[in-house]
Amino acid sequence: MLNRIIRIMATAAGCTLLLAGCSLRLDNPASDMAQDSGVPISFNAGSALLLYDAQQTKAEYYDDSSFGVFAFKQSGGNWSQLNSKKWKPDFMFNQEVHHSSGAYTYAPTRYWPNAAVNTLTFWAYSPYDANANLLVSGTSTPYTSNSVGLPDIRFTADGQTDLLYSDIEADQTYASNSGEVAFDFNHALSLVELKAEKIDEDGLYGVTMKKVSFKGIYATGVLKSSDWSWYNYSGSRQDLPVWDDDPDDDSDDVVLTHGTATPLAGVMPLPQDLTNDACWLHVEFEVSYHEDPLDPSSAVLSYTTSRNVYLRDVFYSVGSAWAKNTHYTVTLQISPDRPIQFTVSWDDWGADHNYHLSS
């Protein structure tokens, strides 16, 4: 079981971004009924999700969370003509859609076009951010409702917030989907889960974990919409905490056992190359032992020590890089008098939705 809780980005309504996309009518007045079908556009993010690899249960979009929607109105054309620099997100621009108890809501309501030639193409990202750093693809120019195509996203990973992007739902009409747009989301980040066990065949000492962190990694990069890859990493390399003991709360102490891996935490870093010498795994732990190893009633002594391992050495079996939509499990094997040993396994992340780490 993982030991962290996702912190969802703030979902306060962002008037500046929303107003930028309001060049078209929003409320379907009677005078414009000839232009609209009168059927509201509805959304869903859980109807076509994959199954978890292990649990084999249907995934659902996280409750009380929001995603941002962009919609392109194509008058007499289709999404394949995007390369002609024609379509703009001026039908919906970063529209917040909120999910709660199975219901997806947004305001003001938008309606399906009445004319058959007026199809809509939709794209979404999650979680919604009124101040999302959106860029014209391949540039540093801010993306607005007058830009064409999909935006790139400059994103800073905090380790606890998932970033998702949807497949393109192209050339939609009310007749083609009964009025509901169903998004399939993909993970843009990596998920790294850490476990630890001690190596102590004779039971001579105890190991209590104190801290685990990734050091010297990039937190900010740009997700490129042309192929959904990461590039243009920026800012200084940073430390990403993975697990930290609370010195004032003994109840959360993680005491390792021999031969059994104890889960520590899971984090979601930015996918990136790990071959640079700046990238480390940092581990701190306390070692305790009896002053006389043969006398269990003798005084207990302890000391705190640490180990550093190049991340390229930890993840060499996967090519020394974190890949998006990939779940890595790293098991640390710790003893006071040997270098840390580790094993790494990896698989697809599982269901295409917010992973939301839980306690």
Would you state the pLDDT for residue 255? 94
Six-digit token string for 46? 């859980």
Half-sphere exposure of 230 (CA within 13 A, CB side): 25
Closest to 174 in 3D by CA, of 32, 42, 27, 35: 42
Which DSSP category does 269 fall into? P
| Residue 314 parent element (H or E) | helix 311-314
Six-digit token string for 15? 């008037």
Is residue 186 within 8 A of residue 228, CB to CB? The reply is yes
- Report the distance separating Cα 349 and Cα 202, nearest Å: 38
- Report the distance separating Cα 269 and Cα 322, nearest Å: 8
Is residue 208 within 8 A of residue 252, CB to CB? The reply is no
Region at 315 (left for phi over 0; alpha for psi -120 to 50; beta for the rest): alpha
DSSP track, 142-210: BP-TTS-SPEEEEEE--BS---EEEPPEEEE-HHHHTTEEE--EEE-S-EEEEEEEE--TT--EEEEEE
Six-digit token string for 276? 């640079």
Neighbour-count burial for 34-49, b at 16+ CB within 10 Å, e otherwise: eebbeeebbbbbbeeb
| Residue 70 parent element (H or E) | strand 65-75
Six-digit token string for 198? 């001690």
Domains of the chain in sequence order: 15-187 (2.60.40.2620), 191-348 (2.60.40.2630)
Closest to 89 in 3D by CA, of 13, 146, 156: 146
Which ranges of the chain have pLDDT less than 70?
1-35, 46-59, 82-84, 350-359
pLDDT tens per residue, range 144-162: 999 999 999 999 999 999 8
DSSP helix/strand/coil, 323: coil
The rounded radius of gyration (Å) of the Cα atoms in the chain is 25
DSSP helix/strand/coil, 325: coil
Beta bridge partners of 327: 191, 347
pLDDT tens per residue, range 242-291: 999 887 777 778 999 998 999 999 999 999 999 999 999 999 999 999 99
Closest to 204 in 3D by CA, of 336, 53, 34: 336
Neighbour-count burial for 7-17, b at 16+ CB within 10 Å, e otherwise: ebbebeebeeb
Would you state the pLDDT for residue 46? 66
